[in-house]
Structure 1
């Protein structure tokens, strides 16, 4: 069965295992000027997709567009603040007018404040929530309003291990990511109840080597870092592309730290409280002194008129993981389960023969 994509022709072949992409999709990526969003835009472009890049930072967007074109994709740059619902909807109109009907929408954009809760102002808390949570809501609204009449499309939400377990110094970000989880689960059930062919899936990620730790609003005396092990943004981008290609799975856990964080908090949350109270703060700080001149992207993009293009990777490239067996296992869990069941059945037969 094929579902047509209007003037641009067929884009989806739908089978019993869910949607399988064909070439030339229209993909929207928010937060595309740097970090995971930028790596994700490039990863989709490698498939030959037409990619709309949404973010505030125009230097980063321009550089990301060059990278998209360099690997064979088509780039449409749309400077937008995802906290502005009307601006996001207008951007979606431009995408469909210039690239065609949207097939995949990936919500990546976020911001954060790195500080104890008592040191975060109400305005800062609201801003993190507006971008990191409501930005996902706004992107989903824009995508869904266009996908539902066509009864096809995929929305990918970038979740986090910190959306399953809160940690010190990141209360605003953790709260927003927990909200993304609850919102996405509610939407998933609504679409399922309507027997919709529009799919929404969430990908929970671990600590990643992105420029976030160069431009986050930091109120600590030392500069921040991801909790080890640190993953390459390109590896996370591949996970998001894979999720878009297999959207009938409701959620993905990416990386060993995500698995043990989620399971640890489910099995023994009191231990997690104790452990993070003892180690969570120091584990997120480097030995490098912070400076009042450090960039911050909370209110304005860090790559403003006097800023620079930060790229996809942060300053921890010498420490980052570029592979993880858990990611392979997560993608092939069905085959692994079948192999395990076959092995157990074989053992049972051998025992009976003895």
Structure 2
């Protein structure tokens, strides 16, 4: 069983903003020890102060997750300082928006290096320590787009698909060897983080999340749930679950539904001009922020996630009840 959250040492990549930052703050409220990693050192320093004020303990380590040596060094620094790593949370991400023919190979490669290789580096570094210490949990923050693609985000979609596949393979290997190390992957819906302001845009305008949109705390709370009660896969937000169901039920027509009914091309574009700054190749600047600029449209809770997805046994009961009702209906129809 995982240690109680207040007793855990948790490494968080992508901690400077968005879900990573909110997760660090939530853990600090619980009294946990957090190792904060991202490229923006100024944002990490302001977060360090907030964590301390809330009662947590922090260690700041500026890190580019696309570089294996830096991630490996991050793990070593965490162990040197605190003696172990109980949980490793992969949150680092970047984005580039535009049709594939408008993206350069360098832009595509960099997005995949940060998003996919960054999380693979995190999993690998955590695994090396956790297998030796005989316990630990890895939590990957992927996306609902790991299951169903959308246009204008091909590198992001490809990377998130890769995270889910890599994590599933790793989890199966650990299960086969009887290892106590766990791997959980979260599949969030659209989240109101600064990602969209930090994204590189080839659209001529700033991008935006496809509704429904949720606040970062919804995902941070799911991360805490995965830290204390690991599970292989967790959808975060009912919107993402609907996307997954569309993919499962009607995989051939999903693209048409998303393009024509969902209008996913139009709904990813704001009417605000792109200012031409992004964090694809260089770190963002400033003190860091949890939320983006879509707070008025974002939901602060997800009843689906808290009531069902975080309690898989309830989903199994509902599925079993549905199967029983379905069989009964077929029998009545037969008569």
CA deviations 1:213-253 (Å, max 9, x no partner) are: 11101111221111111100011101111111111x21111
Consecutive unaligned residues of structure 2, counting only runs of 5 or more, are: 329-335
Say yes or no: does 1:101 pair with 2:79: no
Consecutive unaligned residues of structure 1, counting only runs of 5 or more, are: 1-13, 349-354
Match of 1:244 in 2: 227
**Whole-angstrom CA distance in 1 between matches of 2:117 and 2:291:** 25
Q: Structure 1's 22 and 181: CA in aligned 2 closer, same or farther, altered over 3 A?
A: closer
Give the structure-1-normalised TM-score.
Answer: 0.87
Say yes or no: does 1:84 pair with 2:67: yes
Q: Structure 1's 132 and 339: CA in aligned 2 closer, same or farther, altered over 3 A?
A: closer
Q: Of 141, 145, 150, which residue of structure 1 is paired with 2:133?
A: 150
Match of 1:64 in 2: 47
Match of 2:300 in 1: 322
**Whole-angstrom CA distance in 2 between matches of 1:22 and 1:176:** 29
Say yes or no: does 1:222 pair with 2:212: no
Q: Structure 1's 69 and 342: CA in aligned 2 closer, same or farther, altered over 3 A?
A: same
CA deviations 1:249-282 (Å, max 9, x no partner) are: 2111111111111111111123221123331110
Give the structure-2-normalised TM-score.
Answer: 0.92
Contact persistence 1:24–1:47 (CA under 8 A)? no
> Which portions of structure 1, spanning 4 or more consecutive aligned residues, are displaced by more than 6 angstroms?
339-345
Match of 2:311 in 1: 332
Match of 1:26 in 2: 9
SS, match of residue 291 in structure 2? coil
Within 5 Å, give how 1:1-354 maps onto structure 2: 14=1, 19=2, 21=4, 23-247=6-230, 249-278=231-260, 279-292=263-276, 295-303=277-285, 308-328=286-306, 329-335=308-314, 337-338=316-317
Deviation at 1:42, TM superposition (A): 1.1
**Whole-angstrom CA distance in 2 between matches of 1:52 and 1:115:** 34
Q: CA RMSD in A?
A: 1.9
Contact persistence 2:6–2:33 (CA under 8 A)? no
By percentage of residues, which structure has more helix? 2
